[in-house]
Structure 1
Amino acid sequence: MKNIFVKVVLVCSIFFSCSSETENITDNETGEITNVALNRQATGASANDLLSSDSFNKLIVEMAYLEGFEPTTTAINNFKSFIENRINKPEGVTFITKEIPTTGKTEYTLDEVVDLEKEYRIQYNSGATIAVWVLFIDGKSSNDTSSGSILGSAYWNTSFVIYEETIHGLSDGTFEPDRSLLESSVINHEFGHILGLTNLGSDLQSDHEDEEHPKHCNEEDCLMYWAAESSQGIGNMLSGGSVPTLDAQCLADLKANGGK
Structure 2
Amino acid sequence: MKHLIRLVLLLTGLSLAISCTRESDGPSDGIDRSANLKSLGSSAEDLLSDVKFTSLNIEMVYVEGSKPTNEAISKFQTFLEQRVYKPDGINISLRSVASSGKAPFSIEEIVEIEKQERTAYNAGDEIAVWIYFADGSNEKDENDKFVLGSAFRNTSMVIYQGTIQTFASRPRSPSRATIEAATLNHELGHLFGLVDLGTAPVSDHQDPENQGHCRIDGCLMKASIEFGTGVFDVLEGSGIPQLDQACIDDLQSIGGK
Fold agreement, TM-score > 0.5: yes
Cα distance, 1:123–1:187 mapped onto 2, change above 3 Å: same
CA distance in 2, matches of 1:84, 1:196: 17
TM-score w.r.t. length of structure 1: 0.89
In structure 2, list runs of 5 or more residues that go unmatched.
Answer: 1-5
Aligned twin of 2:18:
18
For structure 1, the residue ranges without an aligned partner over 5 or more in a row are 1-5, 28-32
Given that residues 62 and 97 in structure 1 are in contact (C-alpha distance below 8 angstroms), is that contact kept between their aligned partners in structure 2?
A: yes
Percent of matched pairs sharing the same residue:
38
For the 8 Å contact 1:25–1:36, the answer to whether it is kept is: no
CA RMSD in angstroms, aligned pairs only:
2.1
Q: Tell me, yes or no, if the aligned pair for 1:106 and 1:139 is still in contact at 8 Å.
A: yes
How far off its partner does 1:34 sit?
A: 2.3
Number of residue equivalences: 249
Please tell me whether the aligned partners of residues 135 and 162 of structure 2 are also in contact (alpha carbons under 8 angstroms).
Answer: yes
- Supply the distance in 1 between the matched residues of 2:52 and 2:17 (Cα, whole angstroms): 22
- Residue 194 in structure 1 maps to residue 191 in structure 2: yes
Q: Which of 159, 178, 182 is the matching residue for 2:179?
A: 182
- Is structure 2 residue 41 aligned with structure 1 residue 44? yes
- Which residue matches 1:235? 233
Which structure carries more relative contact order (alpha carbon 8 Å, separation 6+)? 2
SS at structure 2 position matched to 1:12 = strand
Paired residues of 1:8 and 1:229 also in contact (CA < 8 A): yes
Aligned position for 2:163: 166
The answer on whether the counterparts of 1:7 and 1:149 sit within 8 Å (CA) in structure 2 is: no
**Aligned mate of 2:137, from 127, 137, 140:** 140
Conserved 8 A contact 1:60-1:123: yes
Q: Which amino acid aligns with 2:65?
A: G
Structure 2 CA distance, aligned partners of 1:122 and 1:70?
A: 18
| TM-score (ref. length: structure 2) | 0.90
8 Å contact from structure 1 (residues 132, 159) kept in 2: yes
Inter-partner Cα distance in structure 1 for 2:103 and 2:27:
30
Counterpart for residue 111 of structure 2:
114
4+ runs deviating over 3 angstroms: 20-27, 230-234
Give 1:19 deviation, angstroms: 1.9
State the distance in 2 between where 1:199 and 1:209 align. 7
Task: Give the counterpart of 1:150 among 147, 153, 173.
Answer: 147
